[in-house]
Each structure stands twice: as structure tokens, then as C-alpha cells.
A and B are shown apart, each in its own frame.
Chain A
């Protein structure tokens, strides 16, 4: 277990260095750059621009800039936003809660509903329900998230007026119920694709297990069919799903980016887009590194969890 953790930590660090180099290079190779917006200001001279570049350390060679930034990352100094000078970590943490809230809500919906649909589809294979679920999953996977978000806003916010069209809370209200009402549309929209994916994987995992010899043994023991289903079929079918959940994390994060934009949700996804528009490189890079760490941690957690529930798996 200890050697496993050490090795994984080593791999993760290597991966993070690679992500940081690629991200940094891509961002700085792109046309424009942090100075381009100052250049548009009236009366701005080249001497002024040079002075700003000097102040922001942007006139140094790129490798030097990278090493300076990456070294800071390592010691917890993630730099300051170009926009308002606040530290990148505090900017990110200010948006973290909203994103985690959205992701948690949508994960609960997608795992819960996806598991249910998958289990029912597998136990009632080729039934009307199963066929509808199959078609439904195809449709959900084909619709772009932003389009579904806009339709949801049009129907439930504008036409029916049941739910708010965006934001995380009503200014001046901020009660728990107020948060909940605002959470419904974006979390459902974000969950839609994942329900489809999760239910398909769950269905095939179930079918894999249902045909196994030990399920026949369980029935031969005279167990109630509910016990066979839960303890012998679903228990085993869920194991590969843990790994899938870890792998789905990046999809969830990029889905959150679109969803947060459509629903003006004050989370990291929207912060990322805004920061890109402002050429706020430190925040963009900070979010990139933060999500990379989150994904790596998610996968590590998934591997540890699989080892905990499957006695055949040893971490070494």
C-alpha cells in the first residue's frame, strides 16, 4: 500500500509537470497575450507597454517565466491575477464551492438514476423500458449540453416560470431552499449525458454478471431473488463502475464549464472562460493545474476504492 502510494505520487508529479509545460507553452504561443488589451487603450505608447511588461515580468524569456511560475506553484504561491491582483488560489477557492456543489448534485443524479436505469434495463432485457432507455440514452448523448440547457431555460424558466433561469441564489434570499431551486436546472442538464453513459455501462456490467456461474450458485442456494440481485449481481457489477466514475471526472469538469456558462453559475468553469477572455494567464493556468490535480486525485481514490471492495485486487 505504501509503495503503491509512493509510486502513484511519483507518476502524478511527472504528469503534472508535463501538463504544466504543455499548458504554459500553448497559452503563451497563442496570439494576443496579456498586453494586447492594454495596447487598445487610447494614448498608450510602446514605452508604456514595455514598462507594464517589465512590471509583470513578461519581458523575460519564456523558460525563465515558466520556472518562476512553476517553482511558485510547488511552494503554494500560484501567482496573482492580472485582472485584480488577488492571489490565484483565493480567486479559485472563491469559485470552488459553486462548482463542487453543482458537480456533487449532478453526480448524485447521474449515478443514482443511471444505476437504476441500468439495473432495470438489464433485469428486464429487451422489454419496452429497456428499449426506451436505449433510445433515450442515444438521444441524450447526441444533444449538445448547451442546447439542452437553453431549451431547459426556455421551457422551465421562460414559458412555465417554475424555475430560475440562472445564478446560484437570489440576492437577498440565499436560504437553503433558494440554493436548491437554483441548483435543479443546471445539475439536471449537466447530469443528462452522464446518466446516459452511466446507465449503458451499468446495464452491460449487470449482463456480464448475470451470466456468471456464481449467480446460478446463489439461486441454487434458494436465496430470495432480491438478495441474489443486490448481494451477488449489483455488488459485483458496481466494481468496474468505480473506475468508470474516476475516468468520467474530466468529462464532468468540461461539462460544468458549458453548463456554468449557460446558467451564469458562479463556478470555476465560468471563471475559466472569463479569465481566458481577459488573458488572465495566472488564473487560467491555476485552474488548469487545479483540475489536473483533481482528476489525478479522483482516479487515485477510485483505485483505492476498487481495492477496498474487490478482494482480488491488491495495491502494490
Chain B
């Protein structure tokens, strides 16, 4: 497997009212060509901040501070977190691109779809206006927009949410990036449209071999698209591994909790379909609980074990990792 992006010890701090709060803690993962890594967690777990940090879209210091490294492989290879903004800007939208959760507001309402696509192309490549418009039409066709030539002249408000997300994807794919970050790209869409968009992303990936970082809170989507999964809680990796393994045998109680909150077709209408929820809330990053950050909400919490720092990361299998003080006992219990 060819590595595209190697993220090592990524930490993000925010400064608010003279206090510094850490929202992402020493996160490491690798994106490979043609593969999708899902970053899963509830709102506030730090997954969106992680993606914005990689893109260099967080507010500049001193409001936020990003440490660690993110090595982009291939031509123009560079450490995204170590290079100056001027160089990072040239990679952004070109080698590493991003699509967002809100297709309805992510396009500029006063410029035509074509103008926004052409702008993305011409800001990185010195091609003629004509060639850029032709390429834009091609891209709209590629993402499944009917009558692409006519749609170039459309304004965002004339398109549906699903169509707008397709335009966003076309913009992100315009320069065939090595890495695509998709931050909950289907959350705001209808279920049927959701499936179409996931399908589109998968097909594009098969064709171009780009690596994808897919951010979501929905294990249904994870099962559908991700090869590997990293579960995040309170800014930390709590479980990681091949998606299939994690789905079949989650080791961290938080992962099982998230999975249980996805509705299942098999139980629908049987009266047993009541969704499980995880009680409580994601901890305040300014005052995290000691030890495992999940222990106040965990059914398997053992005082003296779970609330004592530090909780080490262990490897239950060669390509799996987990941050849980009791994972071994819990795995025994299940068996």
C-alpha cells in the first residue's frame, strides 16, 4: 500500500480567555492510496478540528496551536503542519482537498457554479479560461450532474442539496488530489441521496486512487465506505483497526455504544428496535476527567482502575489499537 498522508502525534490547542485548552491529543494515523479511513465520534470529539488542522483552516496562532506532523507523500511532499502558510496554500485544494457537512451554505451564493469551479482550477494551474470551463463541464458530468453545460451557469440556490454537494465534490476533485477529507458530507442529506453520494465517492476513489479521510458519527456509513476506522473520544483515539474487525468485535465500550445507537433493519418493527443511547455528555475539554475520559459514562467503569491516569494504548492484534484499562477482562466476559 502506498502511503499518502502520515499523521503523527497531532495535537491541537485552542486559546480562550487566556486559557489554553487541548482539543486533540497526540492523534496518529496513516492514509493510504485508494483506501478510506473513517474518523468516528460524537460531536465535540475533535474529529472536525482534526480535519481543519490538516487543511490549515484553523484560526492562526495564538487562537489555535497545532503540533505534530502530517507528511504528505508523493510529488510536492511536505509536512503540512511544518511548512509556511504560503506553501500550504498551494497544496490546499490541489494535493489535499476537502468537502464539508453543509452543502447548502458551502457555495458562494453570488457566483455561478462554473465560476466557482473554474476559480479552483485556475488558482492552481495556468490554463486558459476556455480550457478551465471545459474541464469544469467534464467534472460536473463526472459527479453525475445532468446537463453539465447548462448547470455551469446555474447559481447555487437553483440546485438541490444533493446537487450542491455534488458540485462541492467536483470542486474538491478538480485537481485530482492525493488526499480527500470528507467531513460528514452526507449528514445533511436525504437517505437516498446519502447513498448516491457515498457511491459517487467510492467510484471516484476506485478511478483516481485517492486516499480518503471520512469523518462521521454514523456507523452505518462507516460500514459502507471505510476500510479502516479510528474511534475518537474527547480528542483522543480510543480504538482503531480494520473496519470489519471493529464492527465484528468492538473492544472499547464507547465503540459498542456508538454502534448500538445505529438503527438496524433486522430489528425494525419487532418492538425490540428501541435505540440504545449513551447517557451523559462529551466532557468539557477544559476540565477532562482523570484517567479514561469516557469512564463517567461507561457501564463498565471500575473506580481505582478507570479513573487513574495514564491509560496506555495497547495492541490486541497486529493492526488494532485500543485505549481502555479493562479491555482484556471485557473481551473475556463476552466470550
**For the complex, is A51 an interface residue (Cβ under 8 Å from B)?**
no
Shortest CB-to-CB span from B15 to chain A, Å, is 14
**For the complex, is B2 an interface residue (Cβ under 8 Å from A)?**
no
Asked if A221 contacts B119 (CB within 8 A), the reply is: yes
Assuming the contacts A213-B100, A217-B100, asked whether A232 and B108 have C-beta atoms less than 8 A apart, the reply is yes
Chain B interface bracket (under 10, 10 to 19, 20 to 34, 35 or more) = 20 to 34
**For the complex, is B299 an interface residue (Cβ under 8 Å from A)?**
no
**For the complex, is A220 an interface residue (Cβ under 8 Å from B)?**
yes
Asked if A213 contacts B105 (CB within 8 A), the reply is: yes
Asked if B106 contacts A221 (CB within 8 A), the reply is: no
Cross-interface CB contact of B92 among A221, A232, A239, cutoff 8 Å: A221
Stretch at the interface among A20-28, A222-230, A244-252: A222-230
Helix, strand, loop or mixed for chain A's interface? helix
Asked if B119 contacts A223 (CB within 8 A), the reply is: yes
Cross-interface CB contact of B107 among A217, A222, A309, A310, cutoff 8 Å: A217
CA distance in complex: A225, B119 (Å): 13
CA distance in complex: A243, B44 (Å): 40
**For the complex, is B123 an interface residue (Cβ under 8 Å from A)?**
yes
CA distance in complex: A222, B112 (Å): 19
Cross-interface CB contact of A220 among B97, B109, B111, cutoff 8 Å: B97
Contacts of B107 in A (CB 8 A): 214, 217
**For the complex, is B94 an interface residue (Cβ under 8 Å from A)?**
yes
Contacts of B108 in A (CB 8 A): 214, 217-218, 232, 236
Mark each residue of chain B from 99 to 141: 1 if its CB lies under 8 Å from any CB of chain A, else 0.
0101001111111100000011001100000000000000000
**For the complex, is A235 an interface residue (Cβ under 8 Å from B)?**
yes
- Select from chain A the residue with minimum beta-carbon distance to B102: A213
**For the complex, is A124 an interface residue (Cβ under 8 Å from B)?**
no
**For the complex, is A212 an interface residue (Cβ under 8 Å from B)?**
yes
Shortest CB-to-CB span from B294 to chain A, Å, is 30
CA distance in complex: A236, B155 (Å): 14
Contacts of A239 in B (CB 8 A): 110
Shortest CB-to-CB span from B32 to chain A, Å, is 22
Contacts of B155 in A (CB 8 A): 311-312
Shortest CB-to-CB span from A235 to chain B, Å, is 6
Contacts of A309 in B (CB 8 A): 110
CA distance in complex: A213, B109 (Å): 11
Shortest CB-to-CB span from A120 to chain B, Å, is 17
**For the complex, is B232 an interface residue (Cβ under 8 Å from A)?**
no
**For the complex, is A86 an interface residue (Cβ under 8 Å from B)?**
no
Contacts of B123 in A (CB 8 A): 221-224, 227
**For the complex, is B72 an interface residue (Cβ under 8 Å from A)?**
no
**For the complex, is B297 an interface residue (Cβ under 8 Å from A)?**
no
CA distance in complex: A222, B91 (Å): 7
Counted as pairs of residues, one from A and one from B, with CB atoms less than 8 Å apart, the total is: 74
Assuming the contacts A222-B90, A311-B157, asked whether A217 and B109 have C-beta atoms less than 8 A apart, the reply is no
Contacts of B55 in A (CB 8 A): 220
Asked if B92 contacts A217 (CB within 8 A), the reply is: no
Contacts of A212 in B (CB 8 A): 105
Asked if A214 contacts B89 (CB within 8 A), the reply is: no
**For the complex, is B171 an interface residue (Cβ under 8 Å from A)?**
yes
**For the complex, is A8 an interface residue (Cβ under 8 Å from B)?**
no
Asked if B89 contacts A222 (CB within 8 A), the reply is: yes
CA distance in complex: A236, B102 (Å): 19
**For the complex, is B93 an interface residue (Cβ under 8 Å from A)?**
yes
CA distance in complex: A216, B171 (Å): 13
Assuming the contacts A222-B91, A222-B94, A222-B124, asked whether A214 and B106 have C-beta atoms less than 8 A apart, the reply is yes
Asked if B100 contacts A216 (CB within 8 A), the reply is: yes
**For the complex, is B168 an interface residue (Cβ under 8 Å from A)?**
yes
Assuming the contacts A227-B123, A236-B110, A311-B157, asked whether A221 and B93 have C-beta atoms less than 8 A apart, the reply is yes
**For the complex, is A219 an interface residue (Cβ under 8 Å from B)?**
yes
Q: Taking each of A214, A216, A222, A312, which has the highest tally of chain B beta carbons within 10 Å of its own beta carbon? A: A222
Contacts of A214 in B (CB 8 A): 105-109
Contacts of B89 in A (CB 8 A): 222-225
CA distance in complex: A309, B94 (Å): 30
Contacts of A223 in B (CB 8 A): 89, 93, 119, 123
- Select from chain B the residue with minimum beta-carbon distance to A218: B108
Q: Taking each of A221, A225, A236, A310, which has the highest tally of chain B beta carbons within 10 Å of its own beta carbon? A: A221
Shortest CB-to-CB span from A176 to chain B, Å, is 39
Contacts of A221 in B (CB 8 A): 92-93, 97, 119-120, 123, 171
**For the complex, is B276 an interface residue (Cβ under 8 Å from A)?**
no
Show 19 residue pairs from A and B whose CB-CB distance is below 8 angstroms, ordered by the A residue.
A217-B108, A218-B108, A220-B93, A220-B98, A220-B100, A221-B92, A221-B97, A221-B119, A221-B120, A222-B89, A222-B93, A222-B123, A223-B119, A225-B89, A236-B109, A310-B110, A311-B110, A311-B155, A312-B157
Please list the residues of chain A having a beta carbon within 8 angstroms of any beta carbon in chain B: 212-214, 216-225, 227, 231-232, 235-236, 239, 309-312
Instruction: Contacts A217-B168, A220-B97 known; list 10 others, CB within 8 Å.
Output: A214-B106, A218-B108, A220-B92, A221-B92, A221-B97, A221-B123, A221-B171, A222-B90, A236-B108, A312-B155
Closest 6 CB pairs of A and B: A222-B93, A222-B92, A221-B93, A213-B105, A311-B155, A214-B108
